[in-house]
Amino acid sequence: MSQTDVNVLPGGNLFQNKISKEELETLKLEMNKKALLKRRSQTTGRIIANIAVAFVVLLPLLYAVSIAFMPSGELFSMDMNLVPEHPTLENFSSALTNVPLIRFILNSFLVAGLITLGQIISCSLSAFAFSFLDFKGKGVLFMIVMATMMVPGEATIISNYLTVGNWGMLDTYGVLIIPYLTSAMGIFLFRQFYMTFPMSLYESAKLDGCSNLKFILKILIPLTKSAIGAMAVYTFINAWNMYMWPLLVTGSDKMRTVQIGISMLNSVDSQSITLMIAGVVIIIIPSISIFIVGQKQLIKGMFSGAVKG
Amino acid sequence: MSEITLRNICKQYENEHFAVKDFNLDIHDREFVIFVGPSGCGKSTTLRMIAGLEDISDGELWIDGQLCNYFEPKDRGLSMVFQNYALYPNMTVYGNLAFALKIRKMSKTEIDKTVRGVAKTLEIEHLLERYPNALSGGQKQRVAIGSAIVRKPKAFLMDEPLSNLDAKLRAQMRIELAKIHKETETTIIYVTHDQTEAMTLGSKIVVMKDGLVQQVAAPAEVYNHPVNLFVAGFIGSPSMNFMKAWVAEEGGHAALYLGSMASDSKIILDGAKGQRLLEKEKGNEVIIGVRPEDIYEYEDAVKGGFDKNSINICKTVSTREVLGAEVVLYFEEQDKTQAVRLKPENMTRVGEDIDLYVDPDRIHVFDLSTEENIFYGKEQQA
């Protein structure tokens, strides 16, 4: 009887067919190598695919950065100029001198910052009421708040303009900030987050003698940092990118925000694409950096509550 | 010193549904009161009404002579332990214990002294710097109890505090709770659906069903003298066996015929009990209740002297459970599974027949329509 025969016999002593320790070792190594190779090749494949897709997605942005450094003569040549041959900072300096870009950036920071702060305070407080307090008409009220999300901003923008115009608020910081101090989206986001909060924590705090405000400050806020972070990033970027409303309600250079300011670089008399792109690159730096700083919080907050764990 | 009195407490929701109806109870100082009942019976709602977490729709709640219906939870001087512990995850154990004291503006040194004292009692001193997510279930439960104790409340309210723990830890914490009750000398109101907890911990048990109080009594009283069919069936494990029987008079005594008048399984009740039964239910069908431990084999029935005047049930064993100190046999009677608890020496196997005798002194008889216990029912107590 050969050794293989012994091996297939049902109930036969498999250990009779012993492999030496070395053989086992080499077999193990070989199999490990194979598995490792497979895994590595898969990872490499994925990384390459990711880089390719990322390149396609980022191409316009990268090209914009590249144009910002190009002398305008280079851009309008017949050659395919993806990378500047003679990089220059001239576009940036003229973008900053042609229009008061620094002032615009400061305006935008002030407006976006205050809107963010205001929304966090108002949305978290109302979300607290909607999720922890019991009052008559809570469901209906929440529905009404949510319904406002269905109305596009453009539909109300004219009546809003007329209202603030009659109040004499045009061309002030107030008119840029006050209408945006709360948002249904923010209330919804916070409420979803608070819904995952165990009610007994609130009840326990109440029995401990905690007032609602103290509960929010001492327990709720520390525990919802990621939601607040997500909300802050989201709101800030939205406010930074506002265009229609600031265009409508501001008239002077003193009050203009960056998004309006940047379009001023595109004048009929002296159109310079390189100049405009340089301006664009300058103003996306703050919003991108805010995103980079807050991206972990943003993702964590957006998806928290989606799955338990 | 704390006396809590509930007078006709009701909880009615907007859809007119009563979660709790006419709840009356006097809780004396240092009592360990247990609310027990199946889920949805209103026991937690009652507790939450006492705590102030739910509005009282009707009735009066008195704590130490003060009408507390409209007091804020914090002003009632009670503390509560929740099923899911309700520890603040952003604070250390120390922070959790100190939180209520900080709110009450106690001085730092005093807080420290109190917190460390409580931590020592509960043996959680080594955990003080940890966060709740780094604690095991049992440790979390201790901390939760600690933060209830630390305020020295008038009474502790506990809402199924042990139901998130595993069986072994639950038994251990049960003993600890009894110890804490003794040491702190406070009133405890405890909600559970676990009757073992109810029987072992309580000095007074309140059995509830569908928002109504069924019986308020000491554990042994509830077990031995249940007022109605529900209490009899709810308390005890395996639960009481119920069988239908007919009442007839035989030689001046009451005789209960199992199943039908023609049955040869009968039990004779003599004395006051028999008279009472005849007086109330002669010629009627009733439900008899027998606890699994009140059913015996022939030899024990002879020893007990009730082999002659007892129901003799000869049945085929359908299931056999060996629990170590005892054997529980199950058999079918009147389309219901009935249980009998016998000595571990019993060797009857599944499929074999067994002769069983019921101790007539330990039998309960319930009216078929009102389901009241004919011997211990409300009418009898009044």
* Per-residue pLDDT, A75: 79
Give A177-209 pLDDT, tens digit per residue.
999 999 999 999 899 889 888 899 999 999 988
- In CATH, which of 3.40.50.300, 3.30.930.10, 3.40.710.10, 3.30.450.20 is domain B4-234? 3.40.50.300
Give B218-243 pLDDT, tens digit per residue.
999 999 999 999 999 999 888 999 99
| In chain B, domain spans | 4-234, 241-381
Which of the pair, B13 or A303, is modelled with greater confidence? B13
Residue among A133, A135, A208, A223 with most chain B CBs within 10 A, to mutate = A208
Comparing alpha-carbon positions, the chain A residue that sits nearest to B158 is A204
Tokens 């009899």 correspond to: B232
What is the nearest CA distance from A207 to chain B, expressed in angstroms? 5
* Per-residue pLDDT, A12: 47
CA distances from A294 to A112, A127, A221, B327 (A): 15, 22, 17, 64
Which of A201, A210, A214 is nearest residue B86 as measured by Cβ atoms? Answer: A201
Give B309-361 pLDDT, tens digit per residue.
676 777 788 899 998 889 999 988 888 889 999 988 888 888 888 888 888 88
CA distances from B348 to B265, B290, B329, B352 (A): 21, 21, 9, 6
* Per-residue pLDDT, B51: 94
* Per-residue pLDDT, A264: 82
CA angle A278/A282/A288 to nearest 5° reads 130
Q: In chain A, which stretches have pLDDT less than 50?
A: 1-9, 11-12, 305-309
* Per-residue pLDDT, A305: 47
From B291, B290, B196, B296, select the one nearest B244 (Cα to Cα).
B290
Contacts with A256 (C-beta within 8 Å, 6 or more apart), sequence order: A103, A104, A107, A246, A250, A264
* Per-residue pLDDT, B314: 75
- DSSP string covering B311-344, please? -EEEEEEEEEEE-SS-EEEEEEETTEEEEEEE-T
B88 and A219 within 8 Å at the Cβ level: the answer is: yes
- DSSP string covering B267-312, please? EEE-HHHHHHHHHHHTT-EEEEEE-GGGEE-HHHHHHHT-SSSS-E
Tokens 């251990």 correspond to: B172
Tokens 């009241």 correspond to: B372
Give A132's contacts in chain B (Cβ within 8 Å): none
* Per-residue pLDDT, B209: 93
* Per-residue pLDDT, A308: 39
Tell me the backbone φ, ψ of residue B160, rounded to 5 degrees: 45, 55
Which of B51, B53, B104 is nearest residue A209 as measured by Cβ atoms? Answer: B104
Please answer whether residues A267 and A89 qualify as being in contact, where contact means their C-beta atoms are separated by less than 8 angstroms. no
- The confidence band for B96, taking pLDDT boundaries of 50, 70 and 90, is very high
* Per-residue pLDDT, A16: 55
Residue among B47, B55, B63, B82 with most chain A CBs within 10 A, to mutate = B82
- In CATH, which of 2.40.160.20, 3.40.120.10, 2.40.50.140, 3.40.50.2300 is domain B241-381? 2.40.50.140
* Per-residue pLDDT, A306: 47
Please count the residue pairs, one from chain A and one from chain B, whose beta carbons lie less than 8 angstroms apart. 52
- CB of B190 less than 8 A from some CB of A: no
A200 and B82 within 8 Å at the Cβ level: the answer is: yes
- The confidence band for B255, taking pLDDT boundaries of 50, 70 and 90, is confident
Which residues from A are below 8 Å from B when comparing CB atoms?
Answer: 198, 200-201, 203-210, 214, 218-219, 222-223
Give B82's contacts in chain A (Cβ within 8 Å): 200, 203-204
What is the nearest CA distance from B126 to chain A, expressed in angstroms? 24
Which of B52, B84, B99 is nearest residue A208 as measured by Cβ atoms? Answer: B99
Mean pLDDT, range B273-289, rounded to an integer: 89
Give B90's contacts in chain A (Cβ within 8 Å): 219, 222-223
Residue among B87, B90, B150 with most chain A CBs within 10 A, to mutate = B90
* Per-residue pLDDT, B381: 53
- CB of B82 less than 8 A from some CB of A: yes
- CB of B268 less than 8 A from some CB of A: no
B53 and A222 within 8 Å at the Cβ level: the answer is: no
What is the nearest CA distance from B304 to chain A, expressed in angstroms? 53
Second CATH level (architecture) for the domain A99-303: Orthogonal Bundle (1.10)
Give A206's contacts in chain B (Cβ within 8 Å): 52-53, 72-74
Give A45-101 pLDDT, tens digit per residue.
999 999 999 999 999 989 999 989 988 888 777 777 788 888 888 888 888 888 888
| In chain A, domain spans | 21-68, 99-303
CA distance B63 to B329: 48
Give chain B's mean pLDDT. Answer: 89
